[in-house]
Amino acid sequence: MTNHNNLHLQLVPLKKADKAAFMAMAQDAFQQGFEAHFGKTDETILPNEDILKSLNGKGAIAYKAIADGEMVGGAVVSIDAKTHHNHLEILFVKPGLQSKGIGKAIWFTIEHLHPDTAVWETCTPYFDRRNIHFYVNVCGFHIVEYFNERHPMPDTPEDFIGDAHQGMFGFRKTMTAL
């Protein structure tokens, strides 16, 4: 249990029974974030296949965030127990609950749950200033790479909505030297 700004948040491993609600909430959060910048679209910004790829990836652990008995967000991380070089795949907060410290509480709880991590990495689109602020100024990540047409992001799906070639920032947070 984490207490940030009087927010009592608990991260619990995602159960099979919660998977559909988790995926729907993640999709809604990513959809609303994209549409806030580019307007309404009929495309699904975070398709089921992409979420399932993260959920079923090597070393994947999914968490749902619970506050006052309600799911308020979630995250998927990939943990490499050998290298301690881990990756934040997905982090989301239920739409309408942003700016209440939930994302911050989710992230710092993840750090607490994985104290052997040497390095965390993640990425976010170039246009999402809110996410860039969150990762750099709130969570302590550093921008280490700019993926674009001349420097493509590895393993980008061909059907990636929003065109990753337009720009994605890669972030890294060095925790400790193990």
> Residue 6: pLDDT band by 50, 70, 90 thresholds?
low
Mean pLDDT of the chain: 89
Higher per-residue pLDDT: 169 or 159: 169
Cβ-in-10-Å burial (0-12, 13-18, 19+) of 14 comes to buried
Greatest Cα pair distance, the chain, in angstroms, is: 46
Number of domains into which the chain is organized: 1
Please report the pLDDT score of residue 161 as a whole number: 46
pLDDT-derived band at 126, boundaries 50, 70, 90: confident
Rounded to an integer, the average pLDDT of 132-137 is 96
Look at the block and give the residue holding tokens 């309408």: 96
**pLDDT (0 to 100) of residue 167:** 80
CA atoms within 13 A on the CB side of 86: 24
Give the HSE-up count for residue 26: Cα atoms under 13 Å, Cβ half-sphere: 25
> Which CATH number do you get for residue 97?
3.40.630.30
Domain extent, residue 147, equals 2-174
pLDDT in tens, 71-85: 999 999 999 999 999
| Listed residue (37, 52, 24) closest to 167, CA to CA | 37
Please tell me the distance from the alpha carbon of residue 23 to that of residue 26, in angstroms, as a whole number.
5
Q: What is the pLDDT of residues 21-62, one digit of tens each?
A: 999 999 999 999 889 888 999 988 899 999 999 999 999 999
* Alpha carbon of residue 49 to chain centroid: 16
